[in-house]
Chain A
């Protein structure tokens, strides 16, 4: 199975700053089948990005995804107060579908 490693584990930033989150796969993710989710405490995850770079419906353009092969990045251009949360990547290029361990973006 494909193991996804996210880094850093925690990112401490201030509102207005840029956040760069990494997701590295143990083997190439076919067709850039990678998604990103946001999860706030006590809530279910919500879809941000699919296909490595396509924003889901209603997601603001401050969120962007990039990458291919084994290295993927989620960038939040300017953090808003509601963006402080945990972010997970997920690959769907091969079964079993797998998730990364998450990056927590916290207020500095």
Chain B
């Protein structure tokens, strides 16, 4: 079945970077796209960006531009999200989520279970 398995919990100090991975299985990775969405405690879901797994094209939310990098490794069917210059406000659960349309950013039909990132000195 279609599955997105994310990497484990991370604890980082302010100013550091974090890289979260998302391994896809059960479908042809390069046919679809992947979003990254985060949810801070008690906050709404927040879209960070998107990558077309086939072409590698990316689109980032302006809010995270310059701090976030989304990549994919087609040989490993894995997408990655790296967030730099971490601050306490980046403490959140980070989700990868598949987009059923590979060529543009739409909605999310399959979600990973989430990766908790805590930023604390």
Least CB separation from A56: chain B residue: B109
What's the minimum C-beta distance from A19 to chain B, rounded to whole angstroms? 20
The count of chain B contact residues (Cβ–Cβ below 8 Å) is 23
Q: Does A101 contact B (CB under 8 A)?
A: yes
The answer to whether B87 has its CB under 8 Å from any CB of chain A is no
Is A81's beta carbon under 8 Å from chain B? no
User: Contacting A96 at CB < 8 Å: which of B63, B108, B112, B114?
Assistant: B63
B105 contacts the other chain (CB 8 A): yes
Give Cα A81–Cα B120 distance, bound, in whole angstroms.
38
Against A, the Cβ 8 Å flags (1 = close, 0 = not) of B38-58 are: 000000111100100000000
Give complex CA distance A43, B93 in Å: 11
Q: Take A44-B112, A96-B63 as given contacts and tell me if A50 and B107 are in contact as well, using a CB distance cutoff of 8 Å.
A: yes
Q: Does A8 contact B (CB under 8 A)?
A: no
| A97 proximity list for chain B (CB < 8 A) | 35, 47, 50, 61, 105
Q: Does B59 contact A (CB under 8 A)?
A: yes
Min C-beta distance of B110 to chain A, whole Å: 8
- Whether the Cβ atoms of A44 and B111 lie closer than 8 Å is yes
The answer, yes or no, to whether A45 is at the interface (CB within 8 Å) is yes
A84 within 8 A of B: no
B63 / chain A contacts, CB cutoff of 8 Å: 96
User: Which residues of chain B from 34 to 91 have a CB within 8 Å of any chain A CB?
Assistant: 35, 37, 44-47, 50, 59, 61-63
Q: What residues make up the interface of A, taking CB atoms closer than 8 Å to B?
A: 33, 35, 37, 43-47, 50, 56-57, 88, 90, 92, 95-102
9 A-B residue pairs with Cβ-Cβ distance under 8 Å, sorted by A, are A44-B113, A56-B109, A57-B109, A88-B45, A92-B106, A95-B61, A96-B61, A96-B62, A97-B50
